[in-house]
Amino acid sequence: MVNMRAALAWIFLLLTLRLAAPAGAETMPLTIGISQFPANFNPLINSMLAKNYILGFALRPLTVYDKDWQLACMLCTRLPTLENGGAVRETLPDGKPGLAITYSIHPEARWGDGVPVTAKDALFTWEVGKHPETGVSSGELFRRIVRIEVRDDKTFTLHFDRLTFDYNAINDFQLLPAHLEAAAFAKPAEYRTRSLYETDTTNPGLYVGPYRIAQVVRGQYVVLEPNAAWYGAKPAFPRIVVKAIEASPAIEANLLSGGIDMVAGELGMTVDAALAFEKKHRPEWVVTYKPGLVHDHITVNMDNPALADRRLRQALLYGLDRQTMVQQLFQGHQAVSNSLVNPLDWCYDPKVRSYPYDPAEAARLLDAAGWPAGPDGKRRDAGGRQLSLELMTTAGMRNREVMELVAQQAWKRLGIEVTLRNQPARTFFGDTVLKHAFPDLALFAWVSSPENVPRSMLRSDMVPTAANNWSGENAGGYRNPAMDRLIDAIEVELDRDKRRALWSQLQALYAEDLPELPLTFRSDPFILPVWLKGVEPTGHQYPTTLWVENWRVEGRPR
């Protein structure tokens, strides 16, 4: 045993002796570790975090949420609104209200082969996006556009078939180079395999951002080099290499051995792995935690008669010391959530009801709900049935399992019997959650976006059933007409202040009703070298790489 310890001590002594690699700082590439390799590269076909991250260097969407979660123009020149006249209400031929929105593409925007980005590209992209056979995963935006009018080379007008508050957000409208991609689209059903993004990924003409993809070694890495046709600020690195390394310990080893310079927060390490790394106090790196939009919570099965009683749900939340749990597990880098809206979102209501740890109040609510504690401390109803709940989650995810264990222990103290049953993610999400098939409680996370209306999660017609082919994500079976009305009202309320009031009502109702027990919003840990400046974590699904031209080098060791 002594020898083993000595050997380990020796290993970690060696860790500290590594020397920096020599080379000129200005000509040195930036090597980034991410935990997944993109399956494909076409930006429109589907959305995948690893792909979005890499394409962020090389493509620019027309509009995007910025780091303050406000909608902004990226490839367009000015965000069209009703106020500035860029968006105009109109009536569609069928008499329904519609909207005409005009966008102008940046005048200097050119594809990597020098061909200007034009309104023709927008028209082509729409054709691809709305075609039922191309396999574009998020087709909703394209289907809502009834017509595109080309005004001039750089300007086009989209005619939408409805009026919603997020009318001018066309973030999914990722322009494709018509001059290169038209041939592949000749047979729409084969577009997804014939697209040049898949067959000729390093073709410079496919990219419009500061970088272009210069080399792809599948499963291993992607090399990006500056795009000669880029019109914006000159990016700092002559080369960026993105390496896919899945396992946290391997990512860490690569950082320490110089295999990578930084770890992307969007998909890199888990918070606990980053915390463990940080504990070693490595002065060469800064670890930044950015709260994100992945919301860990426990969905309650509302069809269960016991849990249908709101007092029981409130008691469960009062009886769980979320503050201590989150503080201890994430060392203050994640906060307890009080509602489904992230505190970074403008529509978050800071006055929303929170449930501080209060076991006495929890006990009182349980008594009131008809579950008094017996002499053995266990709670039973009038019929003598013991209060017993089954808590389910995905097997093999450590953080979730720990939260599950903490909840089990806390609720046991209240006199509630809690059994755990975990399943592989495939089974849990594909069967148990999707088909509304968990008996009591299910712990998992939602991925959302800024100001995301919880229509599919909380509206009463979104409960998955065999009849609707299990569509909808209201897995708990929550049905409340007041919630339905609020969701409908928010979607069409264009006035920001009025919408804020509606959002407050929605959050208040959520916190009162507790269709889900909110736990915490997950943070993204960014591990950056001290010499890299200007990386601004966003926290939402649009990655930091979209602003790579702001990344700078200061004092990089040679």
Partner 1 sequence: MIRPLLLRLAQAALVLLVMSFLVYGLMGLMPGDPIQLMAAGSPTMTAEDVARLKAVYGIDRPLVDRYWHWLAGALGGDLGFSRLSAQPVAEALGPPLRNTVALMTCSLCLALLLALPAGVAAALKAGRPLDYALNLTAFAAISLPVFWLGLVLIMIFAVGLAWLPASGVETVGDGGGGDRLRHLALPVAALALAGFGHYMRYMRSAMINALSQDWIRTARAKGLSWPQVVLGHALRNAMIPVVTILALDLGTLFSGVLVTETVFAYPGMGKLIYDAVMGNDYNLALAALMLATALTLAGSMLADLLYRLLDPRIRHA
Partner 2 sequence: MRRLLRHPPAAFGAIVLLLLTALALAAQPLQALLGIDAETLDLAAQLAPASSGHPLGTDEVGRDLLARLLSGSQVSLAIGLSTALVAALLGTLVGLLAGYRGGTVDALLMRLTDGVIALPLLPLLIVLSAVDPAKLGLPAEVLRSPGGGLARTVVIIALVGWTTVARLVRAATLSVKSHEFIRAAEALGAGPARIMIRHLLPNVVSPVIVATTLSVGNIILLESALSFLGLGVQPPLPSWGNMLSGALDLLGSAPMLAVWPGLMIFLTVLSFNLVGDGLQRSLDPRRS
Integer Cα distance of 138 and 136 in angstroms:
6
Task: Answer with the entry of partner 1, partner 2, none that 434 interacts with (C-beta below 5 to 8 A by kind).
Answer: partner 1
Q: Under the criterion CB under 8 A, does residue 325 sit at the interface with partner 2?
A: yes
The answer to whether 289 touches 334, Cβ cutoff 8 Å, is yes
Integer Cα distance of 440 and 524 in angstroms:
30
Name which position in 221, 237, 478, 526 contacts partner 1 (CB under 8 A).
221
Task: Answer with the entry of partner 2, partner 1, none that 37 interacts with (C-beta below 5 to 8 A by kind).
Answer: partner 1
Site string for partner 2, 395-414 (x = CB under 8 A): xx-x--xx-xxx-xx-----
Q: Under the criterion CB under 8 A, does residue 23 sit at the interface with partner 1?
A: no
Residues contacting 477, CB < 8 A, separation 6+: 301, 302, 303, 436, 463
Please identify, among the stretches 80-88, 107-115, 146-154, 245-253, the one whose residues bind partner 1 according to the rule CB under 8 A: 245-253
Q: What's the chain's length in residues?
A: 558
Considering only residues 255 to 274 of the shown chain, the ones binding partner 1 according to CB under 8 A are: 256-259
Q: What's phi and psi for 383, nearest 5 deg?
A: -80, 0
Name which position in 72, 228, 250, 368 contacts partner 1 (CB under 8 A).
250
Question: Closest Cα to residue 342, out of 502, 520, 164, 513?
Answer: 520
Please identify, among the stretches 74-82, 216-224, 304-312, 337-345, the one whose residues bind partner 1 according to the rule CB under 8 A: 216-224
Q: Under the criterion CB under 8 A, does residue 132 sit at the interface with partner 1?
A: yes
Integer Cα distance of 159 and 156 in angstroms:
10
CB of 523 to partner 1, least distance (A): 18
Considering only residues 406 to 465 of the shown chain, the ones binding partner 2 according to CB under 8 A are: 406, 408-409, 419-424, 426-428, 431
Site string for partner 2, 276-295 (x = CB under 8 A): xx-xx---------------
Both tokens of 242, joined, read: 């993105």
Q: Under the criterion CB under 8 A, does residue 385 sit at the interface with partner 2?
A: no
Q: Which is nearer to partner 2, 72 or 437 (CB)?
A: 437
Considering only residues 204 to 263 of the shown chain, the ones binding partner 2 according to CB under 8 A are: 248-249, 252
Question: Closest Cα to residue 460, out of 446, 439, 474?
Answer: 474
The answer to whether 184 touches 127, Cβ cutoff 8 Å, is no
Name which position in 6, 189, 228, 233 contacts partner 1 (CB under 8 A).
189
The answer to whether 53 touches 242, Cβ cutoff 8 Å, is yes
Q: Under the criterion CB under 8 A, does residue 466 sit at the interface with partner 1?
A: no
Name which position in 83, 94, 140, 376 contacts partner 1 (CB under 8 A).
140
User: Helix or strand or coil: residue 552?
Assistant: strand
The CA R_g of the chain, rounded to the nearest whole Å, is 26
- The CA-CA-CA angle for residues 263, 264, 267, to 5°, reads 115
Tell me the CA end-to-end span of the chain in Å, nearest whole number.
Answer: 41
Considering only residues 141 to 170 of the shown chain, the ones binding partner 2 according to CB under 8 A are: none
Task: Answer with the entry of partner 1, partner 2, none that 172 interacts with (C-beta below 5 to 8 A by kind).
Answer: partner 1
Task: Answer with the entry of partner 2, partner 1, none that 328 interacts with (C-beta below 5 to 8 A by kind).
Answer: partner 2
C-alpha 158: how far from its chain's center? 27
Task: Answer with the entry of partner 2, partner 1, none that 217 interacts with (C-beta below 5 to 8 A by kind).
Answer: partner 1
Integer Cα distance of 151 and 102 in angstroms:
9
In single-letter form, the type of residue at position 299 comes to T
Question: Closest Cα to residue 319, out of 266, 358, 280, 268?
Answer: 358
Task: Answer with the entry of partner 1, partner 2, none that 218 interacts with (C-beta below 5 to 8 A by kind).
Answer: partner 1
Q: Which residues bind partner 2 (CB under 8 A)?
A: 1, 4, 8, 12, 248-249, 252, 270, 272-273, 276-277, 279-280, 324-325, 328-329, 394-396, 398, 401-402, 404-406, 408-409, 419-424, 426-428, 431
